[in-house]
Amino acid sequence: MSDLQDLYQEVILDHNRRPRNFRAIEGGRRAGGYNPLCGDKLTVYLRLDGDRITEAAFQGSGCAISKASASLMTDAVKGKTLAEADALFERFHHMVTAAPDAPVDELGKLSVLAGVRQFPVRVKCATLAWHTLRAAAEAREAIVSTE
């Protein structure tokens, strides 16, 4: 378990320090998200070709978990259809809200975020980008809040 925790911390810190896809995308869909508990604020940007996500990016500020989750998420949804991205959201949400001793679903690099289930207050940090992605996919204008 110690090796998994070390990997979890390493990946989170890497994606926090050097977030992938940290930029705005012009001409696509976007949505804003806010976690008042932690102060995380971000915007998720999507460019679509039909219902397929060709580009995903984000900008904003927040805690390491929030930024790492957004970074990992934008990589994970590129090339997926909106339905596939939504199904991935559901699997990710189930993983981070499961009991701490539940088996971890295989979600590739996203699996490292399973560790947040041990800290329920951090689940909102990990899922903010995902809820905001859903709003961008649905072209919703309102700010997504974790509260």
Domain ranges of the chain: 2-143
Predicted confidence at residue 146, as pLDDT, reads 85
| CATH class of the domain comprising 2-143 | alpha beta
Which parts of the chain register pLDDT below 50?
Answer: none
Predicted confidence at residue 8, as pLDDT, reads 74
Predicted confidence at residue 147, as pLDDT, reads 82
- What is the reported pTM? 0.92
Predicted confidence at residue 141, as pLDDT, reads 77
Predicted confidence at residue 3, as pLDDT, reads 67
Q: Sheet harboring 144-145: ordered strands across? A: 52-61, 40-49, 29-35, 144-145
pLDDT tens column, 19-56 = 999 999 999 999 999 999 889 999 999 999 999 999 99
Predicted confidence at residue 137, as pLDDT, reads 96
